[in-house]
Amino acid sequence: MNPVLHKIVETKHEEVRLARGKNLPPRTLPIRPWESRLKTNSISVIAECKKGSPSSGILRPDYFPVEIASIYEFSGAGAISVLTDSEYFFGSLGDLKAVAESVSIPVIRKDFIIDPIQIDEAYAYGASAILLIVRILSPKDLTSLHRYAKDLGLSILVETHNREEVKTALDAGATTIGINTRDLDTFEIHKNLIEEIAPELDESIIRVAESGIESYADWQKYKGIVDSMLIGTYFMKSKDISSDFKSLLSGN
């Protein structure tokens, strides 16, 4: 495991330890449909709210997640991803709650989830879905966490980086699989990964392209082989998200 990723996971273990025993607020929002928003007649967009990342630093100094989420919803996003990691991505559960309360489309908690308490947090703070990353979980833990989230009524995006991880995800019961072109060990983008793997997945699986999507050409390239694209950095670097959202989909 990459030293940075290893450090992140170590931090998560400490966060989990501190979270145990804390009282969570009761959920006040409905769980919003996820699958129907992602699998449409075109490629849907999971638009991401993230202030920064370990590889890029601060992406958006003027980071106002509720304002950004409103633009995403108005622009036609199928769902919104909110980074909740504080130490490495500068997010929070407060961001998740604020965004979930401000939009009417499903919101996914994007974090490095290794324990059921983090799923309880996602549920309490209004998420309709969570992210599980195959790379940081044993097959047994992946299956257990997937089942735990499903029993709460949450949807699950299972992130993979190669064919072996896709098989592990399918064995765990995943029905929404993300193919991330960013290698978590090197942080390099492998552009052809989605074209190599996505067509091999059954049509019943919701296929999500992740990372490195930044142009209309990418959008066109993935037509017919994925159902949705998770896009963050492209929007976070944008001076006009609404305009760039439109140009990504239309080329204009």
- How much is the pLDDT for 116? 98
pTM for this entry: 0.95
- Which domains does the chain carry? 3-20+34-250 (3.20.20.70)
User: Out of 48, 73, 121, 165, which one is annotated catalytic?
Assistant: 48
Q: For residues 152 and 170, give the distance between their C-alpha atoms in angstroms, rounded to a whole number.
A: 20
Average pLDDT, the chain: 94
Residues 177-226: tens digit of each pLDDT: 999 988 776 667 787 899 999 999 998 999 999 988 888 888 888 888 99
- How much is the pLDDT for 187? 67
User: Out of 110, 155, 165, 228, which one is annotated catalytic?
Assistant: 110
> Residue-wise over 178-209: b if at least 16 C-beta within 10 A, else e?
bbbbbbbeeeeebeebbeebbeebeeebbbbb
Q: For residues 185 and 75, give the distance between their C-alpha atoms in angstroms, rounded to a whole number.
A: 34
Query: Active-site residue 188, yes or no?
Result: no
